[in-house]
């Protein structure tokens, strides 16, 4: 199985859950040293973990990713299209470059990662696609994240259409909508973590592995009759009026 953006944050948590369950995991990232170090850490848990260095915001990077995994392992049965970014920029200061950077990774990277893996997913007879979206965009709005929220909402349109298109091949396509998850990206925002946790009904931030467990379910045989669906994992924050 493949986890794009699996070298840190939510992607690392997803990879950790699959690796600890004994699955063969390939994580994908842009930086060689970061990818190698992350794979080494994941392997300490007993899993079989490899890595590919590729820029999935480019279709040719997605193709190379799929080709390298197939050359090494001969199959792809699960793709967790997780790679993403959430740089903050107010609408009044938004540039075309800001928009393009966000959509290239969040939306284009999701779509073309799936496209590149399609033949292998169909051949596996257990094809599973799990997309990491967000509550921001599909459900909530946050000032400064108009481009991010739009890209995450767009992912859900892709998930529903792709689920219909790929169902005849036995491939399921589902999405996870995380809330506030404690990750490197969150820390880089300089957010007051105690204040953020206090505003969540469960009174804690999410762990990346919380998202990993959901992805593992969507990839399981037990979820074989679920496609085109979304699962919110946010500690209850979207319940607040």
d(CA 109, CA 115): 10
User: Is residue 225 among the annotated active site residues?
Assistant: no
Identified catalytic residue from 51, 99, 148, 225: 148
In DSSP notation, 28-80 reads EES-HHHHHHHHHHHHTTT-EEEEEE--TTSHHHHHHHHHHHHHHHS---EEE
Radius of gyration of the chain (CA): 17
Q: Where are the alpha helices (DSSP H) in the chain?
A: 9-20, 32-43, 59-73, 96-103, 109-124, 146-166, 184-188, 193-198, 208-218
Q: Which residues are catalytic?
A: 148
């Amino acid at each position: 199985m493949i986890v794009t953006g699996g070298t840190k944050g939510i992607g690392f948590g997803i990879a950790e859950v699959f690796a600890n369950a004994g699955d063969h995991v390939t994580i994908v990232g842009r930086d060689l040293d970061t990818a190698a170090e992350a794979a080494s850490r994941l392997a300490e848990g007993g899993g079989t973990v490899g890595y590919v260095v590729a820029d999935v915001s480019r279709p040719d990077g997605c193709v190379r990713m799929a080709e390298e995994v197939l050359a090494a392992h001969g199959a792809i049965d699960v793709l967790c299209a997780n790679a993403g970014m959430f740089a903050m920029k107010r609408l009044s200061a938004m540039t075309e470059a800001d928009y393009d950077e966000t959509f290239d990774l969040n939306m284009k990277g999701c779509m073309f990662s799936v496209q590149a893996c399609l033949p292998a997913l169909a051949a596996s007879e257990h094809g599973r696609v799990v997309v990491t979206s967000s509550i921001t965009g599909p459900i909530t709005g946050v000032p400064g994240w108009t481009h991010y929220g739009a890209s995450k909402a767009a992912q859900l349109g892709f998930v529903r259409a792709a689920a219909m298109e790929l169902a005849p091949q036995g491939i399921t396509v589902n999405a996870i909508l995380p809330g506030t998850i404690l990750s490197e990206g969150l820390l880089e925002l300089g957010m007051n973590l105690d204040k953020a946790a206090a505003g969540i009904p469960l009174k804690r931030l999410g762990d990346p592995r919380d998202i990993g467990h959901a992805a593992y379910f969507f990839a399981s045989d037990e979820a074989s009759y679920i496609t085109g669906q979304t699962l919110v994992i946010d500690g209850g924050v979207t319940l607040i009026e």
